[in-house]
Chain A
Amino acid sequence: MLLAGPAIVVFVGFVILPVVLAGYYGFFRWKGFGPATDFVGFQNYMIIFADSAFHDVLRHNGFILVLSLVLQGPIAIVLALLLNRKIRGRSLIRVLIFVPYIISEVIVGIGWGLMLQTSGSVNGLLENIGLGAFQRDWLSDPSIAIWSLMVIISWKYIGFAVILFLAGLQSIPDELYEAAAIDGASYWQTQRSITLPLLGPTVRIWAFLSIIGSLQLFDLVFIIWGQYVASTAGTSTMATYMVANGRTSGNFGYGSAVAVVMFLISLVIALIYQRFVLSRDTAGALTEGKK
């Protein structure tokens, strides 16, 4: 038991305690210096829910959440099925599609930010191939910016989905395919009746990670758009709202309250998802403790 001690101390001290403290500070108007004394009850929360800027970020987060699932999921499954076939250079391909996932958000943000600016390489490329009419202000036009963000997010994270799905495909026993072949099943019948159902648990875990990631999205938006431009470009998220209205403006009580709202939204979605989706996987990593 003693062996687990240090891990528990560090984990409780730096993960659990801050989350609890956020709940406490959220009830105060507090500039972050000295003890928090100006108790304001639920006032911070009332301001958050009345703030139209917060309604915007909720909409953005929801949009990103749904589109991440709808865009990345099917594309990643098709790619994984494709790359699971016997082709030359398969291991090299697997390394290469994971590259965007390994590169830091800062690098991705700076690189894509430079590519997508009005005088950047994307518009330059469009000009070069004679599609100059399609040049846009990819980052500041509010009707386009969030789609640009979706492209960047998909680019960065789809490799992770493909690798997960490939790993899931490898764990499907060969015997099932052999049996299907003996029964005369076609390729598509095999995929629909064997591969996709057995890939289910992997897809459900991926979707869970994707949902949580969408709700917490911060780095890319903050690096490309900064904390203020994001709201005019229509790409601000709960996390950038939290940083802009919390630490940056020195309102630690308010920032903590935003963190609590984020936490509760994530928790509710996570619990609903676990209850209705992940519970189908008896041995899922996240449900094991509750068996």
Chain B
Amino acid sequence: MAVLEAPTRPHKKRLSSDRQEWGSPATYFIAFVFIALCLGPVIYIILGGFRDNSQITNSPAGFPNPWNFDNYAEVLASSTFWQQVGNSMIAGLATTIGVVTLGLMASFILARYRFAGRGAMYSLFAAGLMFPMTVAITPLYILVRDLGLMNSLAGVILPQIAFGLPVTIIILVPFLKAIPDEIEEAASIDGTSRLGFFFRMVVPLSLPGVVTTGILAFVASWNSYLLPLFILSDQATYTLPLGVQAFASQYSVDTAKVLAFTSLSMIPALIFFTLFERRIVGGLTGAVKG
């Protein structure tokens, strides 16, 4: 299971000649500059929330002086913000559970059974990877409307599950293929049915892949913009990305408050990512190697 090992494997031994040719201060310097460029805008957003509007107008690139906690306090005290956090949570968790459950079942079939049309089925899902939601959004909107799911989170969740399946299946199939046949034989000798094998052996053994795909699905749902933009027009059903944008246009003169709202809305995805970074990187490795 190279997929599991990749992120935690001790780093390969470097050749001694490398270090002499490349002074390591230069490496650190370039890494530092790159990190600074990556984080600069994020820090701008977070610090901007601690300033007030006159500070931002007078010195657009300055630091908070004095520090102002009112913006964050006001956002945290507003029921709109928490309602949107709740909506995003519901959509994210439901999407994650749906993608992982359906994806695991389909991957199990694709990985462990030989049947006519198996290649075609895999290609069908893999093809979905090539076509993100943008292409299908107009008819998808009509479809969801005709199903009576406009302005409901279900209208966002179901398409998100469908569009999350390709990545999930492509990551999970190698995991399930890697389970040795001997385990399945042993299980069947012990009188376990195929379904029993699925629940008792496959689910626990593929847990790392399941976590990876689950996190990817959750973060994708948490950040999803286009689909909610089409489906959710009632403020009460807004997820955070829509809420952030509505807030930004509603309070366009109150830059500091917009920045506070924006930085608070990115915290959950960042926490999730930090906790599971190794798994995500590991899962991507598996996907690349196929």
| Chain A positions near chain B (C-beta within 8 angstroms) | 1, 3-4, 6-8, 10-11, 13-19, 21-22, 25, 32, 79, 82-83, 85-87, 90, 93-100, 102-108, 110-112, 114-115, 119-125, 127-128, 155, 159, 163-164, 166-168, 170-172, 174, 177-178, 180-181, 186-187, 190, 201-202, 205, 212-213, 216, 218-219, 223, 239, 242-243, 246-247, 252, 255-256, 259, 262-263, 266-267, 270, 281, 283-286, 288-291
| Given A11-B165, A256-B139, A167 contacting B288 (CB threshold 8 A) | yes
Select B140's contact among A8, A18, A174, A263, beta carbons within 8 Å. A18
Give min CB distance, A111 to chain B, whole Å. 5
Give min CB distance, A266 to chain B, whole Å. 7
Contact present for B61 and A125 (CB under 8 Å): yes
* Interfacial residues of chain B within 116-146, with CB under 8 A of chain A in the complex: 119-126, 128-132, 134-143
| Given A25-B139, A205-B288, A19 contacting B131 (CB threshold 8 A) | yes
Q: In the complex, what distance in Å separates the CA atom of A201 from the CA atom of B289?
A: 8
Query: B22 — which chain A residues lie within 8 A by C-beta?
Result: 85, 187
Contact present for B132 and A174 (CB under 8 Å): no
| Given A107-B45, A266-B130, A19 contacting B244 (CB threshold 8 A) | no
Majority SS at the chain A contact face: helix
B31 within 8 A of A: yes
Q: Which 3 pairs from chain A and chain B are nearest by CB?
A: A124-B60, A104-B223, A14-B162
Query: A86 — which chain B residues lie within 8 A by C-beta?
Result: 11, 14
Give min CB distance, B119 to chain A, whole Å. 5
Contact present for B44 and A115 (CB under 8 Å): yes
Contact present for A11 and B136 (CB under 8 Å): no
Question: Which of B71-79, B99-107, B183-191, B206-214 is the interface stretch?
Answer: B99-107
- List 13 interface pairs A-B (beta carbons < 8 Å), by A numbering: A1-B113, A3-B105, A15-B165, A95-B273, A95-B274, A95-B277, A100-B38, A103-B223, A104-B223, A216-B134, A239-B134, A255-B138, A256-B138
Q: Mark B273-290, 1 if CB is under 8 A from A, else 0.
A: 110010001101101111
Contact present for B38 and A111 (CB under 8 Å): no
Query: A19 — which chain B residues lie within 8 A by C-beta?
Result: 131, 135-136, 139
Give min CB distance, B54 to chain A, whole Å. 13
Query: A122 — which chain B residues lie within 8 A by C-beta?
Result: 61
Q: A14-B163, A121-B61, A290-B123 are in contact. List 15 more A-B contacts (CB 8 A).
A: A14-B158, A85-B22, A86-B14, A93-B31, A103-B42, A104-B241, A106-B242, A110-B244, A111-B41, A123-B60, A163-B281, A168-B288, A171-B289, A174-B13, A216-B134
Query: B126 — which chain A residues lie within 8 A by C-beta?
Result: 285-286, 288-289
**Nearest CB in chain A to that of B242: its residue:** A106
Contact present for B132 and A110 (CB under 8 Å): no
Query: B28 — which chain A residues lie within 8 A by C-beta?
Result: 87
Q: In the complex, what distance in Å separates the CA atom of A86 from the CA atom of B244?
A: 40
Instruction: Give the B interface residue count (CB, 8 A).
Output: 107
Q: In the complex, what distance in Å separates the CA atom of A110 from the CA atom of B49?
A: 13
Q: In the complex, what distance in Å separates the CA atom of A213 from the CA atom of B128?
A: 14
**Nearest CB in chain A to that of B137: its residue:** A259
How many A-B contacts if CB must be within 8 Å? 298
Query: B222 — which chain A residues lie within 8 A by C-beta?
Result: 104
Contact present for A85 and B18 (CB under 8 Å): yes
Q: In the complex, what distance in Å separates the CA atom of A108 from the CA atom of B38?
A: 12
Q: In the complex, what distance in Å separates the CA atom of A167 from the CA atom of B278?
A: 11
Q: In the complex, what distance in Å separates the CA atom of A273 from the CA atom of B139?
A: 27
Contact present for B281 and A167 (CB under 8 Å): yes
Query: A286 — which chain B residues lie within 8 A by C-beta?
Result: 126, 129-130
Q: In the complex, what distance in Å separates the CA atom of A213 from the CA atom of B129?
A: 11
Contact present for B128 and A15 (CB under 8 Å): yes
Contact present for B223 and A4 (CB under 8 Å): no
- Most chain A CB inside 10 Å of its own CB: which residue of B122, B126, B158, B258: B126
Select A99's contact among B242, B245, B270, beta carbons within 8 Å. B270
**Nearest CB in chain B to that of A127: its residue:** B61
Give min CB distance, B244 to chain A, whole Å. 5
Query: B253 — which chain A residues lie within 8 A by C-beta?
Result: none
B205 within 8 A of A: no
Query: B141 — which chain A residues lie within 8 A by C-beta?
Result: 247
Contact present for A187 and B165 (CB under 8 Å): no
**Nearest CB in chain A to that of B30: its residue:** A82
Select B27's contact among A87, A114, A288, beta carbons within 8 Å. A87
**Nearest CB in chain A to that of B28: its residue:** A87
Query: B161 — which chain A residues lie within 8 A by C-beta?
Result: 10, 14
Query: A256 — which chain B residues lie within 8 A by C-beta?
Result: 138-139
| Given A85-B18, A87-B31, A290 contacting B119 (CB threshold 8 A) | yes
Q: In the complex, what distance in Å separates the CA atom of A266 from the CA atom of B136?
A: 13
Contact present for A201 and B274 (CB under 8 Å): no
B226 within 8 A of A: yes
B181 within 8 A of A: no
Contact present for A15 and B162 (CB under 8 Å): yes
Contact present for A283 and B289 (CB under 8 Å): yes
Query: A186 — which chain B residues lie within 8 A by C-beta?
Result: 17, 21
Contact present for B6 and A21 (CB under 8 Å): no
| Given A15-B128, A97-B34, A106-B225, A170 contacting B135 (CB threshold 8 A) | no
Give min CB distance, A138 to chain B, whole Å. 13
Select A22's contact among B17, B39, B60, B136, beta carbons within 8 Å. B136
